[in-house]
Structure 1
Amino acid sequence: MQPINQLLITIAKILEEILKETDSLSLQQASVFHTSRAPSISIQNYIQRIAKYTHCNSVCFVFALIYLDKIQELHQDVVLNSNCIHRYDIIIMN
């Protein structure tokens, strides 16, 4: 098993804080990325799994976090919450 990268843990915590805020919002309209229920895997485990199988370095995850922030800035109708964050993460990392 790969050692736990502290930067990936920090990115996961940032995303979890964002999700705490956005999960409480009521969505006007869900995007095609939204699922009917949130996946059971935690964001931290999901990010570590992506890192393990894609062999992306930590810089890729920092850029992914910046990209997610830019998506939110440019498309304020897109709400990142627990029902879609996993799908956005996998698309950005590929």
Structure 2
Amino acid sequence: MAEIEKLNSVPTMITFLSSLLQRVAESNDIQRKLEPQKVSVFHGLTQPTISIQTYLERIFKYANCSPSCFVVAYVYLDRFTQRQPLLPINSYNVHRLLITSVMISAKFMDDMYYNNAYYAKIGGINITEMNFLEVDFLFGLGFHLNVTPNTFHTYCSYLQREMLLLQPPLNVVISDSNPSLIMGKSSMIIHSCFNDDESTSHQQQQQQQQQQQQQLAV
């Protein structure tokens, strides 16, 4: 019952997204022992104790950005790993990459968004580090921030595969010719499960932001 309530309160997209990222991170944790991988500002000295899903849920709760931002953030993560093959997503960098990609996505996509200091607080890092992460991520992307509707919908169409993979009765095989983020060498395509209230008015968004900001300050 608790799990059902949890899925009702958090978009299913977050569950699928975190599941896929968890598998990618675990795969690259193994691969990093076999192949050289670059250490960057996104790497922590130890693996964070907070899970990827809990971290994404925290971002979703307090950032108050549109659900579309998580799709675009995932596109950015894919582009980043494609351009930085020696920096695949693993357990040591996934959290910082996530908070940075969502923040940049919100700035690019939404009319209203929080500043770097607020995102730093959400992510559990200081403002100086947040600023460095933003700059490094943008240069890592080559400032390629635009996401066309076709690209967006292409990415959306593939998280459905992740949804099917999470259902035990179904056996879904993703061939090597299909996009995936495994080892950070291919595209990671996702399908987002949005709430019906994605088109929230500006006034409602502002009220929600004030409430979330007060909660985070407690």
> What is the identity, as a one-letter code, of the residue corresponding to 1:23?
D
Q: Which moved more, 1:23-32 or 1:57-66?
A: 23-32
Q: C-alpha deviations, 1:2-42, integer Å up to 9, x for none? A: 81211111111110111121111224431121111111111
| Residue matched to 1:12 | 18
- Mapped to 2, the partners of 1:28 and 1:79 lie a distance apart of 8
Aligned-residue offset at 1:79? 1.9
| Secondary structure in structure 1 of the residue aligned to 2:40 | coil
| Residue matched to 1:81 | 90
| Secondary structure in structure 1 of the residue aligned to 2:42 | coil
Ranked by relative contact order (alpha carbons within 8 Å, sequence separation 6 or more), the top structure is: 1
- Mapped to 1, the partners of 2:18 and 2:38 lie a distance apart of 25
Structure 2 stretches of 5 or more lacking a match?
Answer: 1-5, 104-218
1:52 paired with 2:58, answer no
Distance 1:5 1:77, change over 3 A: same
- Mapped to 2, the partners of 1:57 and 1:22 lie a distance apart of 29
Q: Is the 8 A contact 1:23 1:81 kept in 2?
A: yes
| Residue matched to 1:43 | 52
Radius of gyration: which is bigger?
A: 2
Instruction: Give RMSD over aligned pairs.
Output: 1.7
Aligned-residue offset at 1:61? 0.8
> What is the identity, as a one-letter code, of the residue corresponding to 2:51?
S
Structure 1 stretches of 5 or more lacking a match?
Answer: none
TM-score (norm 2): 0.41
TM-score (norm 1): 0.90
- Mapped to 1, the partners of 2:68 and 2:78 lie a distance apart of 15
Alignment match of 1:93 (pick from 91, 102, 108): 102
- Mapped to 1, the partners of 2:83 and 2:48 lie a distance apart of 26
Q: Is the 8 A contact 1:11 1:62 kept in 2?
A: no
